[in-house]
């Protein structure tokens, strides 16, 4: 039982270390690439396009949910009217 908990704890520590290492490497690589003017401009344009599309997806998703909720409300309202007749 102790060995199993020790192995789990070491696995969690190893995952944390790998995550931090990957983050640092990603940060350094991004800073290096952004230091090159052409690549920096391309990266910022791509990030801007992705941000715009993400906002559009959120807005469209909200509109679809609102439309579904409205249709469900109308359906329930229609069912209630039919029951009262």
What total of structural domains would you count in the chain?
Answer: 2
Residues 53, 79 within the same domain: yes
pTM for this one?
A: 0.49
Residues 49, 11 within the same domain: no
In this predicted model, what pLDDT tens digit does every residue of 1-21 receive, in sequence order? 788 888 888 999 999 999 999
State residue 56 phi and psi, 5-degree precision: -65, -40
pLDDT for 2 = 80
**Sign (positive or negative) of CA dihedral 6, 7, 9, 14:** positive
The range of the structural domain enclosing residue 85 comes to 42-85
pLDDT for 65 = 92
DSSP the chain: -HHHHHHHHHHHHHHHHHHHHHHHHHHHHHHHHHHSHHHHHHHHHHHHHHHHHHHHHHHHHHHHHHHHHHHHHHHHHHHHHHHH-
Residues 30, 53 within the same domain: no
Residues 3, 30 within the same domain: yes
Residues 26, 49 within the same domain: no
User: Based on the number of CB atoms within 10 Å of its own CB, is 31 exposed (0-12), middle (13-18) or buried (19 or more)?
Assistant: exposed
pLDDT for 64 = 93
Residues 49, 22 within the same domain: no
pLDDT for 19 = 92
């Amino acid at each position: 039982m102790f060995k199993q908990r020790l192995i789990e704890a070491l696995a969690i520590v190893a995952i944390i270390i790998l995550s931090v290492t990957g983050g640092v490497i990603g940060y350094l690589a991004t800073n290096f690439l952004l230091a090159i003017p052409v690549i920096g401009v391309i990266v910022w344009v791509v990030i801007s396009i992705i941000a715009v599309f993400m906002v559009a997806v959120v807005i469209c998703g909200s509109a679809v949910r609102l439309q579904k909720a409205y249709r469900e409300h109308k359906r329930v309202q229609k069912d209630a009217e039919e029951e009262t007749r």
